[in-house]
Amino acid sequence: MSNKSMGEIINLLRKEKGMTQNDLAEKMNVTDKAVSKWERNLSCPDVNSIPKLAEILGTTVEELLNAQSKKETTNIDEIINIALIGIALAMGICIIVTSILKQIDINNAITMLGIGISCLAIYLLKNSNKQ
């Protein structure tokens, strides 16, 4: 279950227990809208209520918290991917614009091209095992 987000785990375990969002909300003393937000990863349960939530859902606090940290890791990976593609794109645009304006020498063009290609290569290598 650790590859799922906290919201996915809450949703899955709640359904396994045959509870509605309203049932879980009543047991947690929150609104069903709060439970809905948890399950859609729009918000997280209050830190002090996580032990009670884990008990109701028949799981451990660690399982819920590990799911949360997995989600944060995914966001960092997405940011790195965007940065790698962005740098490669920026280098390509810079080469094109400066060559049109005749403001670039060949050494700088080769350096920028190398940086762009390196970023794309890192991106492809990093993501090749995910497919």
Same domain for 118 and 92, yes or no, is: yes
- Per-residue tokens: 105: 């020498």
Question: Of 39, 37, 64, which Cα lies nearest the Cα of 53?
Answer: 64
How many domains are there within the chain?
2
Sign, Cα dihedral of 78, 111, 117, 104? positive
* Domain assignment present for 66: no
- Per-residue tokens: 9: 């785990």
pLDDT, one tens digit per residue, over 29-58 is 999 999 999 999 889 899 899 999 999 999
* Domain assignment present for 64: no
Average confidence score pLDDT of the chain? 89
Same domain for 108 and 79, yes or no, is: yes
The H or E element containing residue 122 is helix 106-127
pLDDT category of residue 127 using cuts at 50, 70 and 90: confident
pLDDT recorded at residue 78? 85
Average pLDDT of span 57-79: 78
pLDDT, one tens digit per residue, over 103-115 is 989 999 999 999 9
The whole domain housing 89 covers 74-130
In the numeric block, the tokens 């509605």 are attached to 20
3-state DSSP of 69-117: HHHHHHHHHHHHHHHHHHHHHHHHHHHHHHHHCCCCCHHHHHHHHHHHH
pLDDT category of residue 128 using cuts at 50, 70 and 90: confident
